[in-house]
Amino acid sequence: MSRHLSRFAGTQNLYSQRPRLAYVAQAARLSLGLVGAAGIVFLAASLARGVPLSLAEVRSLAQASALALVVSVGWPAATAVILGWQQRGLFAWRVSRGALAWPLIVGAILGMGVFLLPGADSVMPWFDRQRAVELGLPLAIGIHCALAFAPDDEPGLEVMLACPRPLAWALLERLAMIWAVFGVIGLAGTLAGMSAMPGQAGETALLRWIPPAALLSGIGAYTTLRTRVAAFGAAITAIIWFVFVFFSSVLLPNVPMIVPLNYLTPVIWPVHPYLQPDHLSGGDYGLNRLCVLLVGIGLVRLAARELRDSERVLLGASRRGRQAGG
């Protein structure tokens, strides 16, 4: 048992064993900050010159961001997965299973099934059957992740904080459980869609729903942890889903837009969760999928970081408020 407990420090322990890895992580965070700063400078310059950023300019920024995200988000995520696998005996999967909202799961399956039915697009002319999985499933996953862990609604919070296991594990194992269940549903839906509509490429079918699902999961989990209210996380997730689904073809570069949105729409496409394969070139679509996926994972990471400050988690007050005796 003590051998297991000594591993609880997670990535910190890894860094203490291999200090160079800590420098890599620091450098990755720094590079992400630099890319962000460069993005703001680019946007400010475009506003100053009165001409929106071009597709090529945004592409180069997106490529730099993707690289920084791969190192700063993808690499720690991979490390976390390895650590999690090594310590899998310490996950409380049974408890996490209790956090699953079965009505939402059943609703997602039914919704996807109805949309996959032959003739669904003739009943709903606005609907494209190829999008049967990508429309509803990411929303269901996002809402589920928003409802997964809210400190104010967690009855055993104080006991969980007193355990030697970091609290973030509770969040991550619940998200993993949600992803496992919805992953199976999504894969089944993808296969069903491919057999119903044989022209589709498998990887495109998967890329249609996995990155938006990751992004909405991150948004849901992070908003809930930040605001402490699960309903708020769910509502924000739903709003973002709504905006990107219904304004999918408007929030694109080269689409005429009123001032000042014409400065913003050209820079949205790298993180547009519902960008369609035919909206931009294949390379740009791939870049978009990578960015969306990594931003989603990054938000999950930020959500887990929110749980590091146990005093804030328990009392809900800000650091400044606590210092002032609040």
Partner 1 sequence: MHVTISQLSGIVAYEFRMHWRRRSLLVVTLAMTLITVVLAVVTAGEMGQDSMRQLVSQLDQEQGAHGIDVLTFTILFATWAPVGGALAFVLPVLVADTIPLDEQLRTRELLDSLPLAIGVYLAGKVAGVFMAAMTGIVFAAGATAISWWVFVGPYDLVSYLQMWLLGSGALIALNGSLAVLLAAGQPTRRRAALLIIMIWGVGVVALGSVLAGDSNLVAYLSPMRAPIIMRYTRFDAYSSTPVPFLSADTAQALAIGLIEVIIAALVVWSWMRRRAQRA
In the complex, the residues that contact partner 1 under the rule CB under 8 A are: 101, 103-104, 107, 111, 123-124, 143, 147, 150, 152-153, 227, 229-232, 234-235, 238-239, 242, 258-261
What count of residues does the chain have?
326
Which strand (E) or helix (H) includes residue 318?
Answer: none
Nearer of residues 119 and 198 to partner 1, judged by Cβ: 119
Alpha helices in 228-281 (DSSP H): 230-246, 261-268
Nearer of residues 33 and 316 to partner 1, judged by Cβ: 316
CA distance 157 to 160: 5
Q: Nearest distance from residue 260's CB to partner 1, in Å?
A: 6
Nearer of residues 206 and 261 to partner 1, judged by Cβ: 261
Q: Nearest distance from residue 253's CB to partner 1, in Å?
A: 18
Nearer of residues 152 and 203 to partner 1, judged by Cβ: 152
* CA 78-82-86 angle, 5° bins: 165
Encoding tokens for residue 41? 């400078």
Nearer of residues 174 and 208 to partner 1, judged by Cβ: 174
Nearer of residues 259 and 324 to partner 1, judged by Cβ: 259
Nearest Cα to 170, choosing from 151, 142, 144? 151
Q: Could you check whether the bond before residue 260 is cis, i.e. omega within 30 degrees of 0?
A: yes
Q: Nearest distance from residue 12's CB to partner 1, in Å?
A: 31
Q: Which residues of 34-53 are buried (b: 16+ CB within 10 A; e: fewer)?
A: ebeeebeebbeebeeeeebb
Q: Nearest distance from residue 276's CB to partner 1, in Å?
A: 21
Q: Nearest distance from residue 143's CB to partner 1, in Å?
A: 6
Nearest Cα to 35, choosing from 298, 289, 224, 279? 298
Q: Nearest distance from residue 129's CB to partner 1, in Å?
A: 15
CA distance 198 to 184: 20
How many other CB atoms are there within 10 angstroms of residue 237's CB atom?
A: 29
Encoding tokens for residue 21? 């890895």
Q: Nearest distance from residue 63's CB to partner 1, in Å?
A: 30
Nearer of residues 76 and 266 to partner 1, judged by Cβ: 266
Nearer of residues 194 and 235 to partner 1, judged by Cβ: 235
Encoding tokens for residue 233? 């996380």
Q: Could you tell me if 274 and 248 are in contact, meaning their C-beta atoms sit under 8 angstroms apart?
A: yes
Q: Nearest distance from residue 155's CB to partner 1, in Å?
A: 9
